[in-house]
Chains A and B, each alone.
Chain A
Amino acid sequence: MTEPTGPNLPPESPEEAAATGTLASRISLRQRSGGIVVPVLTAVVAFLLGGAVVAATGHNPLRTYNDIFNGAGLNWFAHPTTDTALTAPYNLSQTLLQTTTLILTGLAVAFAFRCGLFNIGGQGQYFVGLFVANWIGTSWVTMASGPHILIGILAAAAAGAIWAGIAGFLKATVGAHEVISTIMLNWIAIWVGTYLFGKGGPLQNSQNSAVPISNDVVDKARLPVFWGDQVLQGVHIGFFIALAALVVFWLVLNRTTLGYEVRAVGFNPEAAAYGGISVSKNVIRAMAISGAFAGLAGGLDMLGYLYRIGVSDIPVSAVGFLGIAVALLGRNTAVGVGLGAFLFGALLFGTTHGLQSGAIDPQLASNLTYIIQGLIVLFVGADILILYLWNTRRRLWRKAQA
């Protein structure tokens, strides 16, 4: 029998043919080789199951996904136009805005992961970045535009770094687990924000003391918009800052002694200590760098398109938590986080504001994002199952051909 080359079966890669070890060693080989099969399958299965939920509620999953696709502006790629007054380019620009945020919150999780730490506190670190950027963007109204923006962005990143650094410090000194302390710090950030911008709070709107909302970031402190209209949430230059952050992430990890230390501690803290690397220093530093990414996300959002924050916005935001799914799906690599952020950015906008659908209730659609997110987090933890199913299918196919 000749080897089947049906459309469903990609040809066997030489690497896979060479791998004759156990299932676990094959998985690790695939992970090391940056294999894309499992993350893609993970996403596909999550979408299929999400579709099943849609079907179970009596809606048409194909039409729903088509509407979400259009809602995210992805149909723009078929008919590109730069006129953002039209629906498709506008939707796409909004997807890119979400992507910008998610790249950075994803990196915040991924960097800590590479040091063996689980940073659940991206949300809190994002908030403090948001708050600090709002404070700076609404103060010093006489400052020149360039320095004002720069200070705002750097201060937001620094705030995130300090916020996460607290968790790192507690872990390094008294051994408090970072998962617990970052979750606690999320709540502290939420209530600090509620106080700051709430009625009578120090950063509450100075014109109207009746609404629990901040002042607006002054025009000069707003990030330049390169696509679309500033009034209508155009895409700001923070998008490029996020792309640059992906490159920086890769460079720091793979081309600096700092990255070497982070990876050594992440893989084997005992061997790192034996090698002369201080584990506690790296735990604090890796958390701080993680937090800087999330804080930067908050700073860019505030100066890029939000300009203000209301107390009621705080509990709704989930971009920090979505960063966990982005990092897991992207396997904590730069390219993976970039692609994962785009996927979730599209879902986030495509199931909410962008959605114009007769096929599905918008409320159900926005829940779909979280269903898919949850499934992806679940599946990434269950790589073995996915790979097992994949191999079984391959075997069955061969058997059927024999």
Chain B
Amino acid sequence: MPEDIVLEMRGITKEFPGIVANDHVSFELARGEVHALLGENGAGKSTLMNILYGLYKADAGEIVLRGKPVTFTSAKDAIEAGIGMVHQHFMLIPVMTVAENIVLGNEPVREGLLLDEAGAEQRVRELSHQFGLAVDPSALVSQITVGQQQRVEILKALYRGADVLILDEPTAVLTPQEASELFGIIRSLQADGKSIIFISHKLNEVLEIADRITVLRRGKTIETVLREGATQESLAKAMVGREVLLRVDKPPAQPGETLLEVEDLHVVDDRGIEKVSGVSFAVRAGEIVGIAGVDGNGQSELIDAITGLRRLQSGAVRVAGRECVHASPRQMLDAGVGHIPEDRQRRGLVLEFTIAENIALHDYAEPPDAKWGWLFPSRLVERARVLIKQFDVRGGGPLTRAGGLSGGNQQKVVAAREIARDPKVLIAAQPTRGLDVGAIEYLHRRLVEERDEGRAILLISLELDEILSLSDRILVLYEGRIAGEHEGEVSEEQIGLEMLGGRREAA
């Protein structure tokens, strides 16, 4: 590795009440290097970077920047020292132009007090030319794509003179095409001598872009490895602490009768804007149909309409041949639709309820849980005990509050409840969002098993990898319409194109 070390973090320790987020973490960054920080949710990646960016103060350890020890008490200190950070959620002002956003806080002025707009745009144009970051300086931020907004964030950091750039999960919001464009940008920044810290939990990306990879697990540095010689398997093992099966073992589907049929569905959102415009598809017993798409293209409204949580404007939903138009959530449950919702904490669970009470959420009023309106808590507990064992829920018993479980175990409780009802149709919306590799592995295997049990499974996910590895058929949702349908082998690029409506973003 190059000897020219820009940044060194040594023995960083940060404790929050009840948890050691960083435990003597060490990290170094060379000039012109892309160094990936890899770890599961809660491994301590963000804490470490927030310490570097001056947002948190470390309890112990030191930061050495260009050979000199530094202490940052605010992000302003870090920015002045040449550190820039692009957060997962952008911090841009939508009603202002690209140039105005970039110079914000450090505006060029003319005649002492007026904003030098031409100067600002000129400076932004120079920067964007220098690093190959194509954006129109005079466009409003609200009118450019997410990928372009990210470039604006990067330009903002460069404008402030950053030569160490922290990118926090930068591809989470991007389509595959946008992601590969981002990688191009990263390489040109690298060629220019910038050093980049790339935070991610996606193994393939890290192997594609990083020179070195540091793996964090439960607040500790596990290892720092060169990209050469590292494999997805070796990195996953370091992340999780055990061997992980990354590929989903999936025998070919044996589709049977049609169990879910959606016909010319039109749905509007809370503001009355049409979000689903004439969607039709069918899911058969024993197959997984995946719906791909960028967030906000009508996925939530589609799910809500199928499950009875939102009224549909027109169209038809049939479950096992039975017409279910304007059915209530209760009627859809009774028709045999199971639903793993996209937000388990807001919708899938009553966090204050015990696991046993949560498992009874659909059936609390039916025997054996209840009779004539009388509830039998001991029977709830009995049923929960069986399912906890069957679905390998860890971290609590039937009387543990659901809110006290980890995300993966919460999701297992939801899955246990939905699958135990023996649904004909199972709708899994982002079933592995925010989960660690081990839990993802479990849920993916489970979904394939349920498919082979003869259920019709509708998988909605923003993770293209998940869609590709699980689905027997793939539909692409774009602006409320089906923009593509695929059976069998299909390339990531093709689906990525359709996710953008077939139009490629102007570079």
- CB 8 Å contact bits of B348-392 with A (1 = contact, 0 = none): 111111000100111011000010011101000000000000000
- Measured between beta carbons, the chain B residues less than 8 angstroms from A267 are 350-353
The CA of A270 and the CA of B357, in the complex, are separated in Å by 16
Nearest-neighbour CB distance to chain B for A277, whole angstroms, equals 8
- Interface: B110 (CB within 8 A): no
Say yes or no: B341 contacts A274, CB within 8 Å: yes
CB proximity to B under 8 Å, residues A246-260: 254-260
- Measured between beta carbons, the chain A residues less than 8 angstroms from B364 are 257, 260-261
- Interface: B401 (CB within 8 A): yes
The CA of A261 and the CA of B360, in the complex, are separated in Å by 11
Q: Indicate which residue in A22, A32, A256, A273 contacts B374 across the interface (CB closer than 8 Å).
A: A256
Say yes or no: B350 contacts A257, CB within 8 Å: no
Say yes or no: A22 contacts B18, CB within 8 Å: yes
- Measured between beta carbons, the chain A residues less than 8 angstroms from B330 are 276, 278
- Measured between beta carbons, the chain B residues less than 8 angstroms from A258 are 373
- Measured between beta carbons, the chain A residues less than 8 angstroms from B336 are none
The CA of A271 and the CA of B360, in the complex, are separated in Å by 12
Nearest to B357 among chain A residues (CB) is A260
- Interface: B333 (CB within 8 A): yes
Whether A268 contacts B18 in the complex (CB less than 8 A), given A256-B374, A273-B329, comes out as no
Whether A257 contacts B375 in the complex (CB less than 8 A), given A267-B351, A274-B329, A276-B330, comes out as yes
CB proximity to B under 8 Å, residues A76-106: none
- Interface: B2 (CB within 8 A): no
18 extra A-B contacts, CB within 8 A, seeds A268-B351, A271-B348, A274-B309: A20-B18, A22-B17, A22-B18, A254-B375, A255-B374, A256-B370, A256-B374, A258-B373, A261-B364, A264-B350, A264-B361, A268-B350, A271-B346, A274-B329, A276-B329, A276-B361, A276-B362, A278-B328
- Interface: B455 (CB within 8 A): no
Nearest to B364 among chain A residues (CB) is A260
Q: Indicate which residue in B352, B362, B370 contacts A275 across the interface (CB closer than 8 Å).
A: B362
Say yes or no: B353 contacts A264, CB within 8 Å: yes
Say yes or no: B329 contacts A255, CB within 8 Å: no
The CA of A272 and the CA of B309, in the complex, are separated in Å by 11
Nearest-neighbour CB distance to chain B for A86, whole angstroms, equals 47
Nearest-neighbour CB distance to chain A for B177, whole angstroms, equals 35
The CA of A271 and the CA of B348, in the complex, are separated in Å by 6
Q: Indicate which residue in B307, B350, B374, B375 contacts A271 across the interface (CB closer than 8 Å).
A: B350
- Interface: B194 (CB within 8 A): no
Say yes or no: A256 contacts B349, CB within 8 Å: no
Say yes or no: A271 contacts B357, CB within 8 Å: no
Say yes or no: A273 contacts B309, CB within 8 Å: yes
Say yes or no: B353 contacts A21, CB within 8 Å: no
- Interface: B347 (CB within 8 A): yes
- CB 8 Å contact bits of A37-57 with B (1 = contact, 0 = none): 000000000000000000000
The CA of A263 and the CA of B352, in the complex, are separated in Å by 9
- Measured between beta carbons, the chain A residues less than 8 angstroms from B346 are 268, 270-271
Say yes or no: B361 contacts A259, CB within 8 Å: no
The CA of A256 and the CA of B365, in the complex, are separated in Å by 9
The CA of A273 and the CA of B348, in the complex, are separated in Å by 10
Say yes or no: A257 contacts B352, CB within 8 Å: no
- Measured between beta carbons, the chain A residues less than 8 angstroms from B360 are 260
Q: Indicate which residue in B18, B309, B365 contacts A257 across the interface (CB closer than 8 Å).
A: B365
CB proximity to A under 8 Å, residues B294-326: 307, 309
The 9 tightest CB contacts between A and B, nearest first, are A275-B361, A276-B330, A257-B365, A267-B352, A268-B350, A274-B347, A20-B18, A22-B17, A257-B370
- Measured between beta carbons, the chain B residues less than 8 angstroms from A263 are 350, 353
**A–B complex contacts, Cβ < 8 Å, 18 sampled:** A21-B17, A22-B17, A254-B377, A255-B374, A257-B373, A263-B353, A267-B350, A267-B352, A268-B346, A268-B350, A268-B351, A270-B346, A271-B346, A271-B348, A271-B349, A274-B309, A275-B361, A276-B361
